[in-house]
């Protein structure tokens, strides 16, 4: 009986800690900053969803799964918004969704973290690191505010004549602010 109890206790200490489950709230935002012909512009995606499993004390159990509909892009410019879903850019007819998945995380200190994930966009998957701040309010709510840098050309966004980096910069900054509500058993 004592041996069984010791084995159970040892097994409990070897199990990974479970991270908290979070649901994205409607006032969350996913956008980007890019530059065309020397002028910076911002865009956002109206339709995206995020499944977040995260606890700063259990990074080994954390995971992000974000699904984006690139066709929902809005840059406040009708001509650009018509061009971005087309085959030379997001090619939403062939690739209606993009996905970001992360299962490895680093603690950067002072409430900042890095998600080491992969972005799949236009049929291409590339590693993308998302640096983010995580703040919980103690009442079952959290905010994730993050930023990632990526190369649009690595994903084939803006091919053909649009591949000229003097016309459109290659570097794109992705910015997100997720408002979250804890949904697992540990929720307040």
Residue 116 domain-assigned? Answer: yes
Q: Which domain holds residue 22?
A: 18-182
pLDDT of residue 186: 64
What confidence tier does 12 reach under pLDDT thresholds 50, 70, 90?
A: very low
Does the pLDDT at position 15 exceed 60? no
Does the pLDDT at position 140 exceed 90? yes
Write down the mean pLDDT value for the chain.
91
Residue 188 domain-assigned? Answer: no
pLDDT of residue 108: 98
The structure tokens 């980096």 sit at 165
Does the pLDDT at position 177 exceed 90? yes
Residue 13 domain-assigned? Answer: no
Looking up residue 106, the CATH number of its domain turns out to be 2.40.128.110
Number of separate domains in the chain: 1
Q: Which residue, 186, 108, 105, is CA-closest to 142?
A: 186
Residue 50 domain-assigned? Answer: yes
Sequence-ordered alpha helix ranges (H) in the chain: 2-14, 78-83
Average pLDDT over residues 129-142: 97
> Distances in Å between the alpha carbon of 48 and those of 26, 51, 96, 152, 178?
10, 10, 12, 19, 11
Residue 4 domain-assigned? Answer: no
């Amino acid at each position: 009986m004592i041996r069984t109890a010791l084995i159970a206790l040892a097994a409990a200490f070897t199990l990974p800690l479970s991270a908290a489950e979070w649901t994205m709230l409607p006032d969350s935002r996913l956008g980007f900053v890019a530059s065309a012909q020397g002028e910076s512009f911002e865009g956002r995606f109206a339709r995206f969803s995020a499944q977040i499993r995260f606890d700063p004390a259990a990074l080994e159990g954390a995971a992000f799964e974000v699904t984006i509909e690139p066709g929902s892009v809005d840059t406040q410019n009708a001509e650009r918004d018509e061009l971005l879903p087309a085959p030379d850019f997001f090619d939403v007819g062939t690739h209606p969704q993009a996905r970001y998945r992360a299962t490895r995380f680093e603690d950067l200190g002072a409430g900042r973290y890095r998600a080491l994930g992969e972005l799949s966009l236009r049929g291409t998957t590339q590693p993308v690191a998302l640096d983010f701040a995580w703040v919980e309010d103690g009442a079952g709510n959290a905010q994730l505010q993050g930023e990632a840098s990526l190369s649009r050309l690595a994903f084939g966004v803006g091919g053909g004549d649009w591949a000229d980096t003097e016309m459109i910069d290659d570097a794109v900054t992705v910015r997100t602010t997720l408002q979250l509500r804890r949904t697992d058993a540990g929720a307040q």
